[in-house]
Copies of this chain bind each other. A is one copy, B any other.
Amino acid sequence: MRIAYQGEPGAYSEAAALKFQEAADVIACASFEAVFAAVESGRATHGILPIENSIGGSIHRNIDLLGEHHLPIVGEVELLVEHCLLALPGARLETLRRVYSHPQGLAQCEQFLRRLSGVEIVATYDTAGSAKLIRDGALADTAAIASARAGEVFGLDVVASGIQDYAANITRFVVIARQDDATLTPDKTTILFALSNEPGALFKALSVFALRDIDLTKLESRPVRGRPWEYMFYADVNIARQDMRCARAVVHLAEFARWVRTLGSYSRAAEDAPPSSEK
């Protein structure tokens, strides 16, 4: 198994790929688009994409890309995110003038960052990539918010650890492949659909699941480009697509939705979340 992920070595996506398949080879990609391209071209057998974080919410770019491409979801992984503040050896909290991280990383450490005074907060495109910027530029007054593993990879020290605002900071990833894995025994299905912009449309859509006692665990709306205030929906239901109740719900949905597409059916991530208490 060769799994493509977005980011530098030490990225949370790399850790998620290895949690999905410990023995996998991992392929670093510069962007989420490049992850899709790696799977489409066959350079990777699988791709891993963050889809939602328990603090920051959905990663909308990946929901949009899943809709634009035609690669099935074949699995999911949940990963506990433990952010560290990383800096060149010898740096101290008091001498830092800048903090780099991905906007989600910055948002997840808001309370910690607010306590640092006189420090500029700079958004970058990657957590582990921020650590690489500091190493490459020998930036002595700059720190990155990233994983402890990114610190190891780029030779940075951990100045502070566990700096996320909430202990229960979990990112959920989906695994994409070129085709469905027939050996799977799925218990979860992701469905995309678009609705006409008319009263009660979403209520009717949810009824096709509720009337069949199908548990909807996620619903996210994304704008339909070029059609103001019309939406595409990304829905997760806790049932296999092969289950007759799911098949009937999708047929029912197709009666009035503009279009419906089943994105994949796969096994739910094991729940190994820590206690959900605030720190």
Contact = CB atoms under 8 A, between A and B. Distances in A.
Interface of A: 52-57, 60, 103, 123, 125, 165-166, 168, 170, 199-200, 202-203, 206-207, 209-210, 213, 215-223, 225-229, 273, 276-278
A199 B276 CA distance: 20
A278 B228 CA distance: 11
Contacts of A168: 226-228
Given A123-B123, A166-B225, 16 more contacts: A52-B223, A54-B227, A54-B228, A55-B223, A56-B223, A57-B60, A103-B103, A165-B225, A166-B226, A168-B227, A202-B206, A202-B219, A206-B206, A219-B221, A226-B277, A228-B276
A57 B222 contact: yes
A57 B219 CA distance: 15
Given A123-B125, A216-B202, A219-B202, A227 B57 contact: no
Which of A123, A220, A228 has the largest number of chain B CB atoms within 10 A?
A228
Contacts of A202: 206, 216, 219
Contacts of A55: 223, 225
Nearest to A211: B203
Given A123-B125, A168-B226, A226-B168, A203 B199 contact: no
Contacts of A221: 57, 219-220
Contacts of A215: 199-200
Nearest to A279: B226
A199 B238 CA distance: 10
A199 B228 contact: no
Contact of A210 (B103, B203, B217, B277): B203
Nearest to A210: B203
A207 to B, nearest CB: 7
A138 to B, nearest CB: 21
